[in-house]
Amino acid sequence: MEVEVRGATPEENKQQKKLCEDMFKDLGLGKKLKKILIICDIGMPAFYVACKFKKDVQPIYLKDIARIREQATFKRLQITEERYYDQVISILGEKFGNENIIQDERNIIKVKGSTTSVENIKIYDFTEEVRERIIDALWHILPEGFKVRQFKHFPDGFIVMATDIPPIQEFADQIESMKQEFGGEEDV
Amino acid sequence: MFKMYVFKGGTYRHDEIIEKIEDLGGIVMQKTPMQTEIDITFALQAPDLDNLKELAKKLKGDILEIPFGDMEIAIVSPSLSRHHLPHPVCDISEFLRRYGATTNIVGLARGYGKTIFQIKDIEKKMIEEHDAAIFSYGLFSDCIVLKEKETKEISTSYIICGGPSKMPFDNYIGNIGRKGGRMRSAAEIATLEELKEMLLEKIEKTRESIEKDPPPYAPVYIKRALEEQLGIKGTLGDNPVVLHLNGLRIKLPYNIYYNKICDVKIGNVTLGDLSRINKSYMNDTILVRLLSESELGGE
């Protein structure tokens, strides 16, 4: 994880950087982030944070956590990751109906009457969890009183602005320039 | 003037220490036994200490001065959120407790932000009830300058802590801004020591002014009288009668205990005659401020 802090005095930037690094390390999020850029505009006052996730932060598909075997009347799934049992059963139940999902053994699930492929069913979107956890960590890192917030989300990151005054055009302009620097394209 | 000390040693023959303290006119404040060890907190006039130290040496114990033992200190945090607690506010609090201070963490209702920061009048009064206050602010000097202006009206001695290493105030300690972890590195402990030294310096001035015109009875003496006459008993964790430099805080409901406290006999007079007893702004406790000899008319 690379952290860059700009805008304040070098000493303040250094301390803010250390706070940010310590916080993400403690929360185990350091390995999920590629880069964080914090711009402190104390005069305004406003804080801008741009985060970019690493490429390994991807959604989990059924094929990633199960061995799938086609049988005559059903598909047999052997789940290899115990923590996703609940999600697999509930998602398959929603998709194919609860009556068609049979859990024979703890890690064996049979799906009856499925005509479509099950491999690419998204079981768990880790990106969203990482995004939520990073945002939560940011509320800890940014000064407390800055509760007027504005987001710009991208598939692989986001930009957030926090201030304690009503929003003005300058904030949007700064977010736009950070977006260009970070290479975010679509707003999700 | 009484000073606070702690005896650290074994439980074996510790009663001899207690007897000696009482013979020398000292007052035992608290006994904390821990298996074979014991900590005895006591108040004693400084000149009598050498006598006691000889006995402590014989018993292989140690006597340490606890400079904040008769003080209640407010550690003021901009809020009680995770931004400021437990680090560094609790670290400061814990460090001062090692030197005998009773610390209270005061979280301001609107102490955060730059443009929205404010300290309410009731909060100022609450802070002024303490012997000293330590304000823990954030990382940015611009914000600290604005917040310092608000604290100027506070009449009690106070120190401001913040991230930047230097600020244009006399009572400022740097490198204690917002922290992601516990302050336990050598540099951080040195900063806390610096804070302690500055606080001692400030308190020494207050002590000198009290010594020039002291109350007729020391707060430790009043504390013992209160505990004996009202049967107030604390636990190892909670101290129901907290010492101040020129008074006490009694952690009992004001409406029920006001008259009883006024009637406590101190020598030939009552506590009501010797002090101003008010309801505290903190948790319905009772604040006793001892009047000095000149305020009492030299009686």
Instruction: Give the residues across from A78 on adjacent strands.
Output: A67, A108
In order, the DSSP letters of B52-67 are HHHHHHHTT-EEEE-T
Residue A55 corresponds to which tokens in the numbers above? Answer: 């490429």
pLDDT of residue B246: 92
CB atoms within 10 A of CB A1: 17
Task: Give dist(CA A145, CA B137) in Å, integer.
Answer: 12
| 3-class SS shares of chain B: helix, strand, coil, % to 5 | 35, 25, 40
Residue B175 has pLDDT above 60, yes or no: yes
Task: Give dist(CA B290, CA B272) in Å, integer.
Answer: 9
Q: Which of A26, A140, A164 is opposite residue B116, by nearest beta carbon?
A: A164
The owner of tokens 């604005």 is B146
Asked if the Cβ–Cβ distance from B164 to A23 is below 8 Å, we say no
Task: Give dist(CA A133, CA A113) in Å, integer.
Answer: 38
Q: Looking at the complex, does the CB of residue B166 fall below 8 Å from at least one CB of chain A?
A: no
- Quick one: average pLDDT of A32-39? 91
Cβ-count burial B60-92 (b if 16+ within 10 Å, e if not): ebebeebbbbbbbbbbbbbbeeebbbebbbbbb
Q: Using an 8 Å Cβ cutoff, are B153 and B124 in contact? A: yes
Q: Find chain A residues with C-beta within 8 A of B163's C-beta.
A: 11-12, 15
Cα of first residue to Cα of last residue in chain B, in angstroms, is: 19
CB atoms within 10 A of CB B255: 10
For the question of an ipTM over 0.90, the answer is no
Residue A125 has pLDDT above 90, yes or no: no
Q: Find chain B residues with C-beta within 8 A of A17's C-beta.
A: none
pLDDT of residue A13: 94
Q: In this structure, are strands B286-290 and B275-279 parallel, antiparallel, or unpaired?
A: antiparallel
| 3-class SS shares of chain A: helix, strand, coil, % to 5 | 40, 30, 30
Q: Looking at the complex, does the CB of residue B31 fall below 8 Å from at least one CB of chain A?
A: no
pLDDT of residue A156: 84
- Quick one: average pLDDT of B180-186? 91
Residue B222 has pLDDT above 60, yes or no: yes
Q: B272-284 pLDDT, tens per residue?
A: 999 999 999 988 8
Q: B89-141 pLDDT, tens per residue?
A: 999 999 999 999 999 999 999 999 888 899 999 999 999 999 999 999 999 99
CATH of domain B72-209: 3.40.50
Q: Looking at the complex, does the CB of residue B87 fall below 8 Å from at least one CB of chain A?
A: no
Residue B17 corresponds to which tokens in the numbers above? Answer: 């220490």
Cβ-proximal residues to B290 (8 Å cutoff; 6+ apart), any chain = B215, B217, B219, B222, B246, B247, B248, B274, B275
Q: Using an 8 Å Cβ cutoff, are B42 and B72 in contact? A: no
Q: Using an 8 Å Cβ cutoff, are A30 and A1 in contact? A: yes
Q: Find chain A residues with C-beta within 8 A of B116's C-beta.
A: 145, 164
Nearest CA in chain A to B113: A145
Which of 129-168 (A) contact B at CB < 8 A? 140, 143-146, 164-165
Nearest CA in chain B to A25: B180
At B135, phi and psi to the nearest 5? -95, 125
Task: Give dist(CA B126, CA B279) in Å, integer.
Answer: 11
At A121, phi and psi to the nearest 5? -75, 130
CATH of domain B2-65: 3.30.70.260
In this prediction, what percent of chain B has a pLDDT beyond 90?
78
pLDDT of residue A184: 54
CB atoms within 10 A of CB A140: 18
CB atoms within 10 A of CB A184: 21
Asked if the Cβ–Cβ distance from A45 to B115 is below 8 Å, we say yes
CA distance A161 to chain B (A): 15
At B35, phi and psi to the nearest 5? 55, -110
B48 band by pLDDT with thresholds 50, 70 and 90: confident
Q: In this structure, are strands B132-136 and B102-107 parallel, antiparallel, or unpaired?
A: unpaired
DSSP 8-state class, residue B71 = -
Domain limits, chain A: 2-56+126-135+144-182, 60-124
Q: Using an 8 Å Cβ cutoff, are B251 and B285 in contact? A: yes
Instruction: Give the residues across from B127 on adjacent strands.
Output: none
**Which site among B178, B182, B191 would you substitute to test the A interface, given the most A Cβ atoms closer than 10 Å to its Cβ?**
B178
Q: Which amino acid is present at B281?
A: Y
Residue B49 corresponds to which tokens in the numbers above? Answer: 């200490």
Asked if the Cβ–Cβ distance from A15 to B163 is below 8 Å, we say yes
Q: Which amino acid is present at A71?
A: Q
Between the CA atoms of B68, B71, B77 and B82, what dihedral angle is there, to the nearest 10 degrees?
A: 70
Asked if the Cβ–Cβ distance from A144 to B84 is below 8 Å, we say yes
Residue B102 corresponds to which tokens in the numbers above? Answer: 């009773």
Q: Looking at the complex, does the CB of residue B112 fall below 8 Å from at least one CB of chain A?
A: yes
Burial group, residue B123, by CB count within 10 angstroms (0-12, 13-18, 19+)? buried
In this prediction, what percent of chain A has a pLDDT beyond 70?
96
CA distance A26 to chain B (A): 8
- Quick one: average pLDDT of A64-88? 90
H or E stretch including B157?
strand B157-161
Q: Using an 8 Å Cβ cutoff, are A58 and A67 in contact? A: no
Task: Give dist(CA A17, CA B141) in Å, integer.
Answer: 16
Residue B58 has pLDDT above 80, yes or no: yes
DSSP 8-state class, residue B160 = E
